[in-house]
Amino acid sequence: MEIKGRKAEILISEKDIKNKVKQLAKDIASDFENKEILVVGILKGAFIFTADLVRELQEYLNVKIDFIQVSSYHTGMESSGEVIFVKDMSIDIKGKNVLIVDDIIDTGRTLEALVEALKQREPNILKTCVLLDKKERREVNYNADFVGFVIPDKFVIGYGLDWAEEGRAFKDIYAIV
């Protein structure tokens, strides 16, 4: 496959993603032990993963859903580490069991800052789930509670992840060569 004049190779197949989402749902349900859970998807990249995960979680838990959109790239292409809420949640998380769902963690700065900001809102439980983890790029000592796949330091698209708004709807995850 080619996108924007660059070759893209399948890194993770649709089948492998589906199997992983089912396993993550089982792991999360076991960890939350029949509690009601508020799943908060981070827009835009995690919207497909969040939808699939919520459908699987619904078999085990009472699930509510909300979305948040954050940015930490207000100083150009480098992350500032400071989270700006572009779209905030509509549900108050105080006293709730919250699972933040993101598409990918690399440096860890954005997710770490988001978790610290949300702790100020006093949730009962606050955990994180990411589909992809680029451990090689980690700049802070932060790891998600639930991780789908550890991947190499490659630029990836598909299954919600994009390249300048292209490639989000691909069913597989591709690495740009």
Structure tokens at 150: 């550890």
Query: What is the per-residue pLDDT across 104-161, written as a single tens digit (0 to 9) for each?
Result: 999 898 899 899 999 999 999 999 999 999 999 899 999 999 999 999 999 999 999 9
CA 176 vs. chain centroid, Å, equals 20
Structural domain boundaries in the chain: 14-151
User: Running DSSP on this structure, what letter comes out for residue 142?
Assistant: -
Query: What is the per-residue pLDDT across 70-120, written as a single tens digit (0 to 9) for each?
Result: 876 544 445 555 778 889 999 999 999 999 999 999 989 889 989 999 999
State the pLDDT at residue 32: 94
- Report the alpha-carbon distance of residue 142 to residue 50 in Å, rounded: 21
State the pLDDT at residue 78: 52
- Report the alpha-carbon distance of residue 158 to residue 89 in Å, rounded: 25
- Report the alpha-carbon distance of residue 22 to residue 125 in Å, rounded: 22
State the pLDDT at residue 44: 92
Query: What is the per-residue pLDDT across 12-33, written as a single tens digit (0 to 9) for each?
Result: 999 999 999 999 999 999 999 8
State the pLDDT at residue 76: 44
What CATH number labels 14-151? 3.40.50.2020
Q: Which residues are catalytic?
A: 106
- Distance, first Cα to last Cα, the chain: 10
The H or E element containing residue 104 is strand 97-105
CB atoms within 10 A of CB 121: 14
